[in-house]
Amino acid sequence: MPTTVEHRPPRWERRKESRPAELIAAALDLFVERGYASTRLDEVAGRAGVSKGTLYLYFESKEDLFKAVVRETIVPLIREHQRGIEQSELDSARLLERFFVQWWEHFGSTRLAGIAKLIMAEAGNFPEVARFFHDEVIAPNGAVLAAIVQRGVERGEFAAVDIEAATHLWMAPLVLKALWAHSFDAICPAGTMKRRTLAGVALVAIALLAGTAWIVRQRASAPRSAPSAGAPGADAAGSPTLEFAAADLMSLAPASIARTIPLTGSLRATNQTLVRAKVAGEIMELAVREGMEVKAGQLLARIDPIDFESRVREREAQARSAQAQVEQARRTLENNRQLLAKNFISQNAFDNAQSGYDVALANRDAALAQLTQARKALADTAVTAPMAGIVAERFAQVGEKVSPDNRIVSIVDLSRMEIEAPVPSSEIGSVRIGQEVVLRIEGIDLEQKGQIVRINPATSAGTRSVPVYIGLDNRDPRIRAGLFAQGTLEVGTHQNVLVIPTAALRESGGRSFVYVIDGDRLAERDVQTGMSDASGRAPNGSIGVVEITGGLKAGERIVAANLGALRPGSRVSVAMIRSGNEYVGLDVATRVEPAAETWISSIDTVSNSEAGFERVYQGSALVFSWPLVLAPGAATTVRVEHTVTTSRDRAAEEGL
């Protein structure tokens, strides 16, 4: 049977564009095998089949190479998961299960888990590397998980929990399992976690939330009292009464909704520079430290100038000597010119004198050029800031000898920041330069405004997303390079339309519906939807809105929260709070009509013939209820109840 031999082109035949990817793949293998400290760049270059010098063409240091490994292998996975979650129509429990399974399949069970092991083992020795991994991987990954939990809580699918604590509680055993698998699965293969096992773990975690949420929903939807004829919690047909809090309901009114694209990325300074030594020598003075502000032209460091001062004096002497030779050659030339005119010397002798003068001039010019070069080298011993900004890092110390092109300090200008964010290729057609982006930055409470300043002409390999660049004029001193930012880009707006919270929209059997308050009854209403905005704020304050294009009209009241399955046709009441003669409930403060106020203050004057008036005993309490018209302009009538504790016998005697 013939054997197929894979042909791999010699390294000198490979395209230059493939070298960074080959170096990153080789670096990933070595980082996982040996750790960060033990990985050598010459070994990375050797495994990639290139020279060490070629590696330095793409990566300045081992730290830069490690960051490239993380950004090219792990960060795209997190962004892909985030986009999938934002676009998913699954319920939150299934979404959480999918997150756990995908995390394990794409990270926990792969060699990428070795990077997490490396960070945990060597964070103390390389804090900058650990900080980078936290900002680029841990924080965004935790944000994705937290967003799922927040979504479930807002929709009523999960119980209200401490989201940060829950995120840490769930991720900790998964990370531990990943470290265990990476360390021991090669020795004990039976320990490998199967997808089915992981799904079971995920379902247990979901059950902890969903189970509590079910109890909350049942309490919210249960009738206040057992449905029985004549009881205040049931009507004549025995249908239960559902009591809602005011926050559970919402009256519809025209509003606006925007279609947005979520964007995420880390802040970086638009203008930043590495200040390098231009001459060799010992650093005598280093005037700045990390965090200090500097101005353009400010002295940063001084290199020992003694050798350069001596060289300048030497060049000055050589220039004076060359100038003296020029003067001597000029006088000789003039004398020979007069002798030639009197035919005392030959033309050849005169030409020699002319040539000597020209040589003297050239020697003088060369000496002057060398003098200029020596003075420039002397000036370069004073290292100055090429721009204004803040010192981010020092790479040298006083007394250290540096060579030309050695790094001394880095400077960043935080007045203008930039974010590189991926946009799905399906959405890139809606993105334009100059569009405004609303940003929420990690650790900053106020929203920031940025603009799209550039759009990459090509998609990123592997993710098929297009990088866009968001510019931000930074006037907040708390904003620093490296902070994680989440933003929304508005690409379309509908004005004067009906919008409802996403939690109010229910899906069942391929139909979309909401619960509507129809008079004093609960009804299901089929609706047609339009644009949705997962980050928009609904009129009741919840996050996530959807446009209603049919089935509802302005002024109608709906159940705005997800309280689970409710029974259409049930009688509805609203919990109201009395303050003086103001009743707070529904969407407005309700003022009691004068007649109703009279009923409350003097129950003995109540007439049994009053339209809509009802009274019923609950134990020894006598409950009065009557119809109440809301404030002027409101078309809805509610019922107000007033309870009086009294003797049942006395009430019977009074004919009540």
The chain-wide mean pLDDT, for the chain, equals: 76
Q: 449 in a domain, yes or no?
A: no
Please, where are the H alpha helices in 222-305? none
CA distance 25 to 38: 17
| Of 507, 529, 500, 505, the residue nearest 515 (C-alpha) | 505
Alpha helices (H) along 583-638: 594-601
> Residue 578: in which H helix or E strand, if any?
strand 577-579
Res 406: pLDDT: 93
388 found inside a domain: yes
Residue 41 lies in a domain: yes
For the whole prediction, is pTM greater than 0.85? no
**Separation of alpha carbons 213 and 217, rounded Å:** 6
Exposure string of 197-235, with b = 16+ CB inside 10 Å and e = fewer, is ebeebbeebbeebbeebeeebeebbebeeebeeebbbbb
Rounded CA gap, 559 and 539, in Å? 13
For 396-413, what is each residue's pLDDT tens digit? 999 999 999 999 999 999
Give yes or no for residue 560 having a pLDDT over 80. Answer: yes
Between 123 and 160, residue with greater pLDDT: 123
- Residue 146's CATH number: 1.10.357.10
Residue 215 sits in the same domain as residue 329: no
Q: Which of 252-261, 357-366, 569-578 has the lowest mean pLDDT?
A: 569-578
Residue 497 lies in a domain: no
Domain edge (last residue) among 376, 402, 428? 402
Is residue 436 within 8 Å of 449, Cβ to Cβ?
yes
Whole-angstrom distance, CA of residue 206 vs CA of residue 161:
12
Could you tell me if 385 and 275 are in contact, meaning their C-beta atoms sit under 8 angstroms apart? yes
Return the pLDDT at 48: 82
Query: Are residues 287 and 390 part of one domain?
Result: yes
Intra-chain end-to-end CA distance of the chain, in Å? 104
**In this structure, are 29 and 147 located in the same domain?**
yes
* Three-class DSSP category at 180: helix
Boundary (domain end) residue, out of 342, 374, 402: 402
| Rounded-to-integer distance, Cα 60 and Cα 81, Å | 31
Q: Are residues 27 and 157 in the same domain?
A: yes
Q: Rounded to an integer, what distance in angstroms lies between the CA atom of residue 645 and that of residue 656? A: 13
The Cβ of residue 254 has, within 10 Å, a number of other Cβ atoms equal to: 10
Instruction: Assess if residue 488 is contained within a domain.
Output: no
Higher pLDDT, 319 or 47: 319
CA dihedral (169, 175, 181, 184) positive or negative: negative
Please tell me the total count of domains within the chain.
3
Give me 255's structure tokens: 């509003």
3-class SS of residue 423: strand
In a domain, 359, yes or no: yes
Residues 51 and 179 in one domain: yes
In a domain, 37, yes or no: yes
Cβ atoms within 10 Å, residue 3: 4
**Angle at 244 (CA atoms; ends 242, 249), nearest 5 degrees:** 125
CA atoms 569, 498, 550, 556: torsion sign = positive
CB 136 within 8 A of CB 71: yes
Per-residue pLDDT reduced to its tens digit, 568-599: 888 888 765 443 444 444 333 333 333 333 33
Mean pLDDT confidence for 212-216:
41
CB 249 within 8 A of CB 411: no
pLDDT, position 72: 86
Q: How far apart are CA 23 and CA 29, in angstroms?
A: 10
End position of a domain, from candidates 367, 402, 437: 402
Residues 53 and 177 in one domain: yes
Q: What is the dihedral of CA 604, 607, 612, 616, to 10 degrees?
A: 50
Nearest by Cα to 216 from 277, 294, 155, 147: 155
Q: Which conformational region is residue 375 in: left (phi greater than 0), alpha (psi within -120 to 50 degrees), or beta?
A: alpha
Residue range 49-102, pLDDT digits in tens: 888 778 888 888 888 888 888 888 888 888 877 777 777 777 777 788 778 777
To 5 degrees, how large is the angle CA 431–CA 434–CA 437? Answer: 70
Query: Residue 405: left if φ>0, alpha if ψ -120 to 50, beta else—which one?
Result: left
Q: Measured on CA atoms in the order 69, 71, 72, 76, is the torsion positive or negative?
A: positive
Q: Are residues 62 and 188 both part of a single domain?
A: yes
The token duo for 375 is 């003075």
Tokens, residue 540: 């009741």
Distance from chain centroid for Cα 319: 62
The residue written with tokens 């390294």 in the block is: 11
Within this chain, do residues 282 and 390 fall inside the same structural domain, yes or no?
yes
* φ/ψ of residue 273, rounded to 5: -150, 155
Tell me the HSE value of 180 on the side-chain side, using a 13 A CA sphere: 13
Beta strands in 219-372 (DSSP E): 241-244, 249-251, 254-276, 281-286, 293-294, 299-303
Same domain for 61 and 187, yes or no, is yes
Q: Return the axis-axis angle of helices 62-73 and 75-86, rounded to nearest 10°.
A: 30
205 strand-pairing partners? none
Residue tagged 């270059």 (tokens): 45
Whether residue 434 is predicted with pLDDT greater than 70 in this model: the reply is: yes
Domain holding 588, by residue range, is 576-653
Lowest mean pLDDT of 106-115, 238-247, 408-417, name the range: 238-247
Per-residue model confidence (pLDDT) at position 565: 80
In-domain check, residue 463: no
Same domain, 349 and 208: no
Distance, in Å, from the CA atom of 607 to the CA atom of 333, rounded to the nearest integer, reads 139
pLDDT band, residue 635 (cuts 50/70/90)? very low
Do 495 and 255 meet the contact criterion of CB atoms below 8 Å apart?
A: no
pLDDT tops 70 at residue 606: no
Rounded CA-CA distance 434/418 in Å is: 14
